[in-house]
Amino acid sequence: MISRYEIQETEETPGVILDKQEGIFNFSGKSLPEDANEYFSGIISWFRDYSNEPDNETELSFKMDYFNSSTARKFVEIFIILEDLVSKGYPVKVKWYFLKNDRMMEDRGREFSAVVDIPFEFVEY
User: Mean pLDDT throughout 8-32?
Assistant: 97
User: Mean pLDDT throughout 44-60?
Assistant: 97
Q: All domains of the chain, ordered by start, with CATH?
A: 4-124 (3.30.750.24)
Distance, in Å, from the CA atom of 37 to the CA atom of 70, rounded to the nearest integer, reads: 8
Distance, in Å, from the CA atom of 39 to the CA atom of 91, rounded to the nearest integer, reads: 27
Over residues 68-101, the pLDDT tens digits come to 999 999 999 999 999 999 999 999 999 999 999 9
Average pLDDT over the chain, rounded to an integer: 97
pTM of the model: 0.95
Angle 101-26-36 from CA coordinates, rounded to 5°:
90
Give me the percent of the chain exceeding a pLDDT of 70.
100
| Confidence band, pLDDT 50/70/90 cuts, at residue 60 | very high
Over residues 25-44, the pLDDT tens digits come to 999 999 999 999 999 999 99
Distance, in Å, from the CA atom of 52 to the CA atom of 70, rounded to the nearest integer, reads: 26
